[in-house]
Structure 1
Amino acid sequence: MIGKLKGLVDSYGDDHVILDVQGVGYLVHCSARTLQALPRVGEAATLFIEMLVREDMIRLYGFVSQAEKSWFLLLQNVQGVGSKVALNVLSTLSPAELANAVALGDKVMVARANGVGPKVAARIVAELKDKAPGFASVDPGVAGLVAQIEDRQAPRPVADAVSALVNLGYAPIQASAAIAGAVREAGEDADTARLIRLGLKELAK
């Protein structure tokens, strides 16, 4: 099995790169983000490799980081997600962005990827939620607050403050993060108006 390749970039295709390793050209399929991160033709590059072997095909998938490779494998554990859809997701979201979206239950963010409909996005978020904390950089308090709001268990002032920020045009995740920060500063007993003021200050930072 091939786990890693070091060589010179020979050429690029729409969804792949050919890496010249001591005179042997390996065709490696990559996400758009990975292709953009690689150097120019003739320069040295390193890719972490996942090798897919079938009766009629051997295909290499390349990643600039182990985190990206890990998410590629994790995504394919979800029903309806194959290698193509997994690469589409990683073309749209970085590993950190994907981890945060999954941790926060942000189905809309995941559904931005080409070929990922609302149902598949919902499955990705639900089935990989337990896997995200190891990769995510999001404050656990924010994830908890989002879960409370989705389950309609958040205190009324908190839910109303988040709703107010969303109505002002902020994304639900941004609004939840800002109000989570406001709650930390003002306490859980703060009224809606104060949470909104503090939330707007958080967003202005």
Structure 2
Amino acid sequence: MRRWPLRVATGAGLACLVAGGALLFTGPGPADFGAAPAASARPAPAVPTDGTPSAVPPVVVGTVPVELALPGRGVLAPVVPVGTAPGGSMVIPDPPSTVGWWAPGPLAGSATGVAVLAGHVDTAADGLGVLAVLREVGPGEEVVVRGADGRELRYVVAARREYRKADLPLDLFTGDGPPGLVLITCGGAFDPATGHYQDNVVVHAVPV
């Protein structure tokens, strides 16, 4: 199982809100809900012992995500591939209207592993980000990811968690386990000394 030494939105130029901007989110967020899907790998399929050939499961091919929608929240945003900054953080696209897909991880719609999408909650220059709504989403809300191949992959929200940035689980960035989608933005109190929010809001969604 791969593990990646990542944090979200840390380091100069990667803060969810740069110093001098409006403090849009301070204090604790809403209560967590749902059970975050386990990151452990699926068990291997049983092997027939009677000599009969087993059915070959269909090949599930992932796709590069190019657009994210939360229809119930009026969110429609482009998605661009991003990597890892020298300090070990996931790079976040500067415009808060754009979402980053962590390209070293699984493709959207892959048979295993979660695709990780992250974006700014806001910026001083451009205001509120499209993922600011993550603090408000509830269980069962629809999430749609459009792939570069034209497919629309549909998910439903299963859980939301808020973590101190230092406590963000590394299992979110593994390539193993059941398929799914993780959306991340900043939350919690804003620290004017560092120009960062203290927490990350993480929403887990499962395919339908």
- TM-score of the superposed pair, with normalisation by structure 2: 0.19
Which structure shows the bigger proportion of residues in strand conformation?
Answer: 2
Bigger Rg over Cα: 1
